[in-house]
Amino acid sequence: MMLVILLMIMQTFASNIDVQISYIDASLINIHWCSDTVLALTSKGSVYRSDDRGRQWTKMSEIFHRKALIQLEDAGDRVGIVNNLVASPVDKQLILFTGTDQIAWISLDCGKTITAVNAGKQLREYQFHPIEKDWILASAWKQCGSDELLAGKPCVSYKELLLSQDTGITWLSIATYVNQFTWGVKNKDMAKYTPKERILASFDPQGRGHQSISSWNMDANLYYSDDFFQTRTLSVPAGSRFLLTESFLFVAKVTSQYTQEVSLYVSGTELGQYKYAIIDADSKLLEHSYSILDTSENQVFMVVNHLKPSSPLGVIYISDSTGTRYSRSLENVARLENSAEFYRVQGLEGIYLANVYAEDQAKIYSHQVLEAMEEGFYAQQNGFKDEDLKKYKQTRITFDKGGQWVPLKPPTVDADGKPINCNKCQLHIHLSQAFYQFAPIYTQTNSIGVIVATGSIGKYLSYRQDQVNTYLSRDGGLTWIEIKKGSYIYEMSNHGGLIVMSKDQETTNQIVYSWNGGIEWAPFNFLDQKAEISNIITEPQNKGTRFIAYGSIQLESNGIKTEQGLLATIDLDELHQRNCIGQDKPGEVGSDYELWTPSGLVNPECLFGKKVTYMRKRREAACYNPDTLEKIISVTPCQCSQEDYECDLGFVMNNQLCVPIDGTINVDPPAECNDYYTVSSGYRKIAGDICEGGVEHPSMRFSCPNSKGWIFDWLVIGGILFGLFWVYNNQDKVKEYFTRTEMSQLPQSKSDKLIKQLQQKQPKQQQQQQQYQPINLEQNDQQDQKFDEELIEKDENIQMDDDGSHELI
């Protein structure tokens, strides 16, 4: 009886859902919100506009075509179609519509009025200035013209850099044979010490003939100019590629044209001056490419390819706060063409996920690559191929900004409440949709701790449709819940309190939505016939109840079937979900809110050196959050634990200890030494960590050779080196001794105090193992031996909402 009543209530609610269905000429490839006005672009180059937040759409193709015809000077010229929307960071109403030919279009009012611009060539790579509304950079390829061919002049093709200072009406060529370019400021703060006119560009100043940008170019240099390249300053010779962030300028300097080897230089951006230093890293192997993965938390995550240029294997390095000293963080990372399968959890500090290849298979692959390279740099690799690695992908997570990476703890029951019987299994999730069809991981800054993702449970990440399910975490990835069988596309709103999903691996006419974190799902049929749903989005603030589901649908007319694009606007506002209560009494009886503190692996209720207490809606509370919700209640520093440290340069994590990579510590004094110098103990505090007291890893201090105390110091160094060597080779004995010894019984001499400090770290490590025990990777005889033997094919469908945080240097 209760089930019948529940179904009746759900049907009553569903009848109140407002749905508007629009059919468009092709599938959607881009969408842009300008407050209540929305612009949509299809794969056929048609622009649609809505003035009521997606309820009604108007096709604008005729307007674009008519405006373009006025600008054509030759009747034989082609108008082309729109191929992208570029919004100004200064004014969301300012939109540039790029074209497939020499015509582009500008709108100052989000498409209400359109102006066509004829640049005489197809412009690409548009970049609006971050401060000056009217300034735009773009590139164009110089092609062979008919006049040159008739005159018998040599035909060359190269890329040039163009500048507009009147919102794209007129353009001026300012550089040729260009590889890369960008404005020299990112925001108003940078413009306080860097001229707003600054442009950075890498190009070949002696360029001639046809330009190629398919490989590292030793002839291209990095320049900058503060007067639009009327004059220029050489910044890095052979600086072929670069990346500018708010804090750093990274430059890849080509050191070998033949082996395509590059070295990475970095400079701070303060005071508008660039003082480069080559990165100080652990490895001396060949370095073919660098990708900066993240610089958002006063530290740099970088993936380096040490093998052949096309290798899918990479190593993640993490920097200190200066961005110049890098230590290894994670091996065998799954590289993409210009980044890696790597993700930062939005809204929480220090939590990252990455996909790696299984260690044994990665070693086999690396060994075969190195053998092939010994025969010749581009020798054919036999045996283990690149695509073979894709069958051995696994997911890792870090709660201490790369200090330690662990597997994901799988849920204990499935979406139907049945126990998951998989011995020694892990959860693996899809972090990127660059090649594959499953929805990628998703978080929001205003949905603290909530993660939605697709993935599978087993030894390796599966790409089989019948093995991929949908998962949710409410504690930043520490624990996971299976919320739906099968793969879904999803969207969150209302501070994470409302989740809307739809199947994305089969045609459907239904969405499901939940007000209580996936405990209960209400289905709603929004179409009369089934369609392929590509994505679900909501308004940029992610606070309301209106969603847009888009995809493609097969429509039949007069016996003829045609495929069309679909835009379905679904508004759940009329459900009149009750308002949440008890914001002033979180955690108390009768309140819909709770107090929640993110937790790492070692120190309970502490993450990144501090205890942050948030107020958020309880999972069980099926209610509506107000638009404004005060989330952070308090922030207090924590006592330092092992989790607040990472391995320093020259050290690597081994059995939860930072040990020298080559088994020895370099204790040689620096060339310029005055009185004393320091040697790292193997640890450094994570940049931005604010913990106090507790575990400490002070550097060792020694007298310089010309100092009176140098003889004693070198005796101490010898003893330390011997001790480290012994500990490194007897780690099990050391751990057993520390475990059995009572700290309260230790004597208090200086040497014994040092031993006590080491022992104090051990219970923390035991606590970590109890709270989040890494899962044994042994393969189960039945289920774990099943993996997809088929090679994974590249999916050409690109997810528009990809995070876009990965940039190739």
Q: How confident is the model at residue 716 (pLDDT cuts 50, 70, 90)?
A: low
Q: Is the pLDDT of residue 728 over 60?
A: no
Residue 629, pLDDT above cutoff 90: no
Mean pLDDT (whole number) for 188-205:
94
Mean pLDDT, residues 452-463 taken together: 96
* Least reliable range by pLDDT among 397-401, 517-521, 769-773: 769-773
- Confidence at residue 382, expressed as pLDDT on a 0 to 100 scale: 59
Q: What is the dihedral of CA 362, 368, 369, 373, to 10 degrees?
A: 160
Q: Is 206 left (phi over 0), alpha (psi -120 to 50) or beta?
A: alpha
Query: Among the listed ranges 313-327, 357-371, 647-661, 715-729, which one has the minimum average pLDDT value?
Result: 715-729
Looking up tokens 């997570």, which residue turns up? 397
Closest CA to 43 of 57, 61, 33, 29: 29
Q: How far is CA 71 from CA 118, 162, 188, 679, in A?
A: 6, 20, 36, 68
State the pLDDT confidence band at 676, using cuts at 50, 70 and 90.
confident
Q: Are strands 426-429 and 406-407 parallel, antiparallel or unpaired?
A: unpaired
Instruction: Pick the most confident of 435-444, 468-477, 664-673, 795-804.
Output: 468-477
Q: Which amino acid is at 739?
A: T
Among 278-287, 587-596, 658-667, which is the least confidently predicted range? 278-287
Supply angle C-alpha 744, 748, 750, rounded to 5.
135
- Is the pLDDT reported for residue 569 higher than 70? yes
pLDDT (average), residues 530-547? 91
Q: Residue 65, Cβ neighbours under 10 Å: how many?
A: 14
Which of 181-190, 599-608, 798-807 shows the lowest per-residue confidence on average (mean pLDDT)? Answer: 798-807
Please tell me the least confidently modeled range out of 78-82, 578-582, 631-635, 739-743: 739-743
Cα 294 to Cα 805: distance, rounded to the nearest angstrom: 7
* pLDDT surpassing 70 at residue 721: no
What CA–CA distance (Å, rounded) separates 578 from 160? 58
Q: What is the mean pLDDT of residues 55-82?
A: 87
- The model's confidence at residue 256, banded by pLDDT at 50, 70 and 90, is confident
Residue 686 near residue 647, CB atoms below 8 Å: no
Contact between residue 647 and residue 282 where contact means Cβ atoms under 8 Å apart = no
Please say if the pLDDT value at position 454 is more than 70: yes
Least reliable range by pLDDT among 124-133, 208-217, 592-601: 208-217
pLDDT above 90 covers what percent of the chain?
51
> Considering only CA atoms, which of 405, 302, 401 is closest in space to residue 686?
401
To the nearest 10 degrees (0 to 180), the angle between helices 731-740 and 710-729 is 90
Residue 608 has pLDDT above 50, yes or no: yes
CA distance 567 to 48: 11
pLDDT band of residue 631 (cuts 50, 70, 90) is: confident
Residue 472, beta-bridge partner list:
452, 481
Tokens standing for 800? 């528009």
102-109 long-range contacts (CB < 8 A, ≥24 apart) are: 102/77, 103/68, 103/71, 103/72, 103/79, 104/168, 105/64, 105/67, 105/68, 106/167, 106/168, 106/169, 108/167
Listed range (244-258, 333-347, 701-715) with the worst mean pLDDT = 701-715
Residue pair 111/37 in contact (Cβ under 8 Å)? The answer is yes
pLDDT (0 to 100) of residue 660: 86
Tell me the mean pLDDT in the region 376-389: 65
Q: What is the pLDDT of residue 343?
A: 96
Q: In what order do the strands lie in the sheet with 18-24?
A: 18-24, 560-571, 546-557, 532-538
The secondary structure of 734-784 as a DSSP string is HHHHHHHS-GGG---SHHHHHHHHHHHHHHHHHHHHHHSPPPP-PPPSSGG
| pLDDT at residue 760 tops 80 | no
Examine the pLDDT at 764 and tell me if it is beyond 50: no
Q: So what's the pLDDT on residue 286?
A: 52
Q: What is the side-by-side order of every strand in the sheet holding 248-256?
A: 239-244, 248-256, 261-268, 277-278
Report the pLDDT averaged over residues 136-149: 78
Whether residue 752 has pLDDT greater than 50: no
pLDDT band, very low/low/confident/very high, at 469 (cuts 50, 70, 90): very high
Q: Given pLDDT bands bounded at 50, 70 and 90, which one contains residue 685?
A: confident
Lowest mean pLDDT of 88-102, 129-143, 312-326, name the range. Answer: 312-326
Q: What is the pLDDT of residue 783?
A: 38
Helix (H, G, I), strand (E, B) or coil at 466: helix
How far apart (Å, rounded) are the C-alpha atoms in residues 433 and 721?
48
State the average pLDDT over residues 391-412: 93
Asked if residue 770 has pLDDT above 50, the reply is no
Which of these ranges, 327-331, 433-437, 513-517, 800-804, has the smallest mean pLDDT?
Answer: 800-804
- The per-residue pLDDT for 288 is 67
AA identity, residue 587:
G
Of 71-75, 302-306, 655-659, where does the model show the most confidence?
302-306
Cβ neighbours, 10 Å, residue 73: 9
pTM assigned to the model:
0.81
How far apart (Å, rounded) are the C-alpha atoms in residues 727 and 119?
69
Range in 349-353, 543-547, 649-653 with the lowest mean pLDDT: 649-653
Residue 708 predicted with pLDDT over 70: no
What is the chain's mean pLDDT, rounded?
82
Residue 169's identity, in one-letter code, is I
Angstrom CA distances, 190 to 20, 146, 273, 300, 687, stand at 45, 45, 11, 19, 22
Return the percentage of the chain with pLDDT > 70, whole number: 81
In the prediction, which pLDDT does 806 show?
41
Half-sphere exposure in the Cβ direction for 414 (13 Å, CA)? 15
Q: What pLDDT is attached to residue 791?
A: 28
Average pLDDT over residues 607-619: 91
Q: Measured in whole angstroms, how far is the alpha carbon of residue 753 from the centre of its chain?
A: 43
Task: Count how many residues are written for the chain.
Answer: 809
